[in-house]
Amino acid sequence: MLNSATQDLYNTCKQFLQASRCQRLLQLQQLGLARYADFLTQIRLSEVNIICVMRFFQNPSRVKFPELQGADLSNLVLDGSNLIRGNLSAANLQGSSLVDADLIFANFTNADLRNANLTGATLNETIWQGAKVENCIFGEGVGLTDMQRQNLILRAARFN
């Protein structure tokens, strides 16, 4: 059983995810978190995403380095997103578009990036351990080391 403060936060985050995109954006602007609206206005209502939003609302000063582990970000258009130092471990990014996204120092450990598009994304110092990358499009793979590139190719990632 959750304590009352945690239950209140849970309910607030659930209501946030039930709101329309415009309502979410307004709430994020009021909280000073509008620069993160690109994914917070798009994610679907699910238990894993409620927990993700709880992390943002509990500690807004850490939003600069998003804690998105386990989040369901599948099939979202996150082009140009700033997810520097983002923890995307075990996140579902299947079919998502992260074209030109800034993913420096992002952690994709055990994430699912099958059929995602990372063309033009900046990928310096990223972590790919156990990530599923079949048919993930990397374009030139900006910032990847040769070893990372070869490892991703072996796991069926696609490069230009």
For the full predicted model, state whether its pTM sits above 0.85: yes
Q: Cα–Cα distances in Å, from 38 out to 45, 125, 148, 157?
A: 16, 23, 28, 25
pLDDT at 5: 87
For the domain covering 65-160, report its CATH number: 2.160.20.80
Identify the band that residue 2 occupies on the pLDDT scale cut at 50, 70 and 90.
low
State percent of the chain over pLDDT 90.
Answer: 82
Whole-angstrom Cα distance, residue 62 to residue 30? Answer: 17
pLDDT tens string 142-152: 999 999 999 99
pLDDT tens string 100-135: 999 999 999 999 999 999 999 999 999 999 999 999
Whole-angstrom Cα distance, residue 108 to residue 103? Answer: 10
Q: What is the mean pLDDT of the chain?
A: 94
